[in-house]
């Protein structure tokens, strides 16, 4: 089972990915992890990647695709994997398709921009311990103070309101078009096209989890039934 998760930052993809990992016993593959592993291995591909990263340049899509192709050959990917963070753009999605890296499910966790802004800009963390809070959903006992140490909480730069707004805009400009890309591919009748699932991402994480499981398993059962 090969799954691509899509959704705005803060939509809950990381939480749902963990549920999918536990249920289907498949790994989540990260382009960041692959880039670091390639450089650590000092392979020819890794050295090429290092050249870009040392210059502070983006690693070209064709190199990332090669890393993905190598990663999914690993034994833990034998029954599938979860991708989150790649592809992010139409050229990357097309490159993945042309490389023959098939995806079974594209799952979009849909949450409105205003809700994302609320979720992310309200986060506060205690840096030393990593404990996290939210000024609305999980406030500390004393505003601005860690419950355990009483030390100040901070807002990470990624959670700054202006930063969140920029990330939302980037998602809409670069990644949201992938939805139409995969829907158009599916409507073409190509058997390689992934099944698209839209999940409304409000409510408890368990409720969202169960909707994702139901969508995956009902479609899988239907496909298996058609093959008999």
- Sign, CA dihedral 215-217-218-219, equals positive
Q: Is 123 exposed, middle or buried (0-12, 13-18, 19+ CB in 10 A)?
A: buried
Which 3 state secondary structure label does DSSP give 4? strand
Catalytic residue among 69, 156, 166, 192: 156
Q: Residue 13 catalytic? A: yes
Q: Residue 209 catalytic? A: no
Phi first, then psi, for residue 23 (nearest 5°) are: -75, -45
Catalytic residue among 23, 88, 131, 176: 88
- β-pairing, 123-125 vs 132-134, is antiparallel
Closest CA to 84 of 113, 107, 114, 58: 107
Q: Residue 97 catalytic? A: no
The number of beta carbons lying within 10 Å of the beta carbon of residue 223 is 11
Phi first, then psi, for residue 128 (nearest 5°) are: -60, -45
Specify the DSSP element, H or E, that contains 181. helix 177-187
Chain position carrying tokens 């139901």:
214
Catalytic residue among 23, 131, 165, 167: 167
Catalytic residue among 2, 71, 119, 123: 123
Cα 183 from chain centroid (whole Å): 19
Catalytic residue among 2, 13, 209, 211: 13
Closest CA to 14 of 114, 85, 67, 68: 85
Active site residues per annotation: 13, 88, 123, 156, 167
């Amino acid at each position: 089972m090969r799954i691509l998760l899509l959704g705005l930052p803060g939509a809950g993809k990381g939480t749902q990915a963990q549920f999918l990992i536990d249920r289907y016993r498949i790994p989540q593959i990260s382009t960041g992890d692959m880039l670091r592993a390639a450089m650590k291995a000092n392979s020819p591909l890794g050295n090429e990647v290092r050249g870009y990263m040392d210059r502070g340049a983006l690693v070209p899509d064709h190199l990332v695709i090669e890393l993905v192709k190598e990663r999914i050959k690993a034994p833990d990917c034998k029954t599938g994997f979860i991708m989150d963070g790649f592809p992010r753009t139409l050229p990357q999605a097309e490159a993945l398709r042309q490389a023959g890296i098939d995806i079974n499910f594209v799952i979009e966790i849909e949450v409105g921009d205003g809700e994302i802004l609320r979720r992310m800009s309200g986060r506060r963390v205690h840096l030393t311990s990593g404990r996290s809070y939210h000024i609305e959903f999980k406030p500390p006992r004393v505003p601005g103070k860690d419950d355990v140490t009483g030390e100040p909480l901070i807002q990470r730069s990624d959670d700054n309101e202006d930063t969140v707004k920029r990330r939302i805009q980037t998602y809409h400009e670069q990644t949201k078009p992938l939805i139409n890309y995969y829907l158009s591919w599916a409507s073409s009748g190509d058997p390689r096209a992934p099944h698209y699932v839209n999940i409304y991402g409000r409510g408890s994480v368990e409720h969202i989890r169960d909707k994702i499981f139901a969508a995956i398993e009902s479609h899988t059962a239907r496909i298996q039934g058609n093959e008999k």
